[in-house]
Amino acid sequence: MRRNKSIILLSAGHACVDVYQGAVASLVPFFVAERAYSYAAASGIVLAASLLSSVAQPLFGVLTDRRPVPWLLPVSTLLGGTGIALSGLWDSYALTLGLMALSGVGVAAYHPESARVARLAAQGRHTAMGWFSLGGTLGFAAAPLLVAAVVATGGLRLTPLLVIPAVVGSALCLPALRALHGPKGGGCDAPSAVAHDDPRSFVRLSLAVVCRSITFIGLSTFVAFHVMERTGGGTAAGSAALFVLYAGGAVGSVVGGVLAERRDRVTVVRRSYLLTVVAVAGVVLVPGPVVYVFVALASAGLYVPFSLQVTLGQDYLPTRVGTAGGITLGLTVSVGGLATPVIGAVADASSLQTALAPLAVLPALGWLLVRGLREPSGVVAGPDGEVTARRHSEGLAGRGETRGPEG
């Protein structure tokens, strides 16, 4: 019960943090409308939030691997919220970029440590990690609604109200950390691992994560404008598309954990990437309201492998779970922002449809990268130090068995 409570609290805290990742793209249409930014300038806002986050994420992962830093969870949550909350108060483009970068650093600091702590609380269960990832997905899904409710009513001057989730999220971290530090909570020390790292598989997985990230961030930044063009609707039509993109991920996060308990994770990840290829092509090419169906399918395809990539990365690098979690969980989102200026520049020079078309190719590349991966095998120490045996998924699937990390 203590572990389940911790997962629930960590999931809720994850939601509060990832509101601010979703808020960046959600604020872009309002910056364009109120400050007359071009597509390229608007994508620079996403870049600012992503650039420092992408650089800082592995550094925080290394710090987490060297020593537990649970205090980072509440502090980084507040930092992420503060940058977003202050971003609408000044017209200075440079200051806005700086505040977005501040928020990105907060998000970067949160994810490696939270992935390590969630792994402890999950005790190797895919479904538990799926619930933790679901929290972040729900935060993303809530971001456009929250931003619209606050900013659409009074303009960018009301962005300070967006700090509320950060305050709530930082408060939720504290009882979760106390539960894990309790007499029977197992502590927050990193799990020991007796298996060897598999850096080659981890690099291939990470490159697939980058493909997924660029696709997702590209869609989340520009899908609102694209759907407005394809349907002839206004900002409400665009916000609805962004909500569908984020909310569909809520289903995908949970389904991914369930499927991984029945099948091996690598197979689920591969098939998700294939679904994403078809779905993104539909988003780009299909006109009219049917585009919402493809947005939902793209969301599911992008999110089913979300938590599975985190646990796979940690199992490929069992001696550096903080670094692995920081890259697969944090960079899954932040690194995609580095490509948004290119998409924005192409959209300004030609059309938004032309700029988004290459996003259908990236999931295919991701599929090629994960195609040769195998389920991690060997002997690994679980979150509580218990040594568990691993076997390749092919042998298990052949007998109809399901084996998670605890098996």
Has residue 405 been placed in a domain? no
Q: Over 60: is that where the pLDDT of 186 sits?
A: no
- The string of pLDDT tens digits covering residues 120-159 is 777 667 677 777 877 887 887 788 888 888 888 888 889 8
Residue 394 predicted with pLDDT over 50: no
The enclosing H or E element of 164 equals helix 164-181
What would the mean pLDDT of 399-403 be, rounded to a whole number? Answer: 37
**Position 282 pLDDT exceeds 90:** yes
Confidence of residue 397 (pLDDT cuts 50, 70, 90): very low
In this prediction, residue 356 carries a pLDDT of: 92
CA distance 405 to 386: 11
Residue 83 CA to residue 85 CA, distance in Å, equals 6
Looking at the structure of the chain, the number of domains it has is 1
Q: Is residue 404 part of a domain?
A: no
- Please report whether residue 132 resides in a domain: yes
CATH number of the domain where residue 392 is located: 1.20.1250.20
| Residue 230 pLDDT greater than 60, yes or no | yes
pLDDT higher at 335 or 188: 335
Report which secondary-structure segment, H or E, holds 381: strand 378-381
Q: Which amino acid is at 90?
A: W
What residue numbers bound the domain in which 24 lies? Answer: 2-398
> Is 407 inside any structural domain?
no
- Residue 381: exposure state from Cβ atoms within 10 A (0-12, 13-18, ≥19): middle
Question: What rounded mean pLDDT belongs to the chain?
Answer: 79
Whether residue 194 is predicted with pLDDT greater than 70 in this model: the reply is: no
Stretch 36-42: mean pLDDT, rounded?
Answer: 80
Q: Is residue 395's pLDDT more than 70?
A: no
Lowest mean pLDDT among 164-168, 223-227, 316-320, 326-330: 326-330
Quick: pLDDT tens for 317-349. 888 877 787 777 666 666 676 777 888 888 888
Q: Is the pLDDT of residue 383 over 50?
A: no
Contact 250, 134 (CB under 8 A): yes
pLDDT of amino acid 364: 95
Please give the full DSSP string across 270-335, using - where no structure is assigned: HHHHHHHHHHHHHHHH--STTHHHHHHHHHHHHHTTHHHHHHHHHHHSTT-HHHHHIIIIIHHHHG
> Taking the model in full, what pTM does it have?
0.69
Is 70 exceeded by the pLDDT of residue 388?
no
pLDDT at 78 over 60: yes
In a domain, 11, yes or no: yes
The burial class, CB within 10 Å (0-12 / 13-18 / 19+), for 73 is: buried
Q: Is the pLDDT of residue 257 over 90?
A: no
Of 196, 218, 236, 222, the C-alpha closest to 362 is 218
- What's the pLDDT at 124? 63
- Token couple for 44: 């620079």
Judge whether 403 lies within some domain. Answer: no
Mean pLDDT along residues 2-30: 82
Q: Tell me the C-alpha distance between 32 and 38, whole Å.
A: 7
Q: Say whether pLDDT at 239 is over 70.
A: yes
- Structure tokens that stand for 1 in this block: 């019960």
Beta bridge partners of 389: 379
Q: Are 221 and 340 in contact (CB under 8 A)?
A: yes
Better-predicted residue by pLDDT, 330 or 223:
223
What integer pLDDT is reported at residue 386 of this predicted model? 37
**CB contact at 8 A, 280 and 363:** yes
Name the band, by pLDDT with cuts 50, 70 and 90, for residue 294.
very high
Amino acid (1-letter code) at residue 108: A
Structure tokens at 89: 């108060």
* pLDDT surpassing 50 at residue 208: yes
Question: Has residue 235 been placed in a domain?
Answer: yes
Mean pLDDT of 217-237: 85
Q: Is residue 67 part of a domain?
A: yes
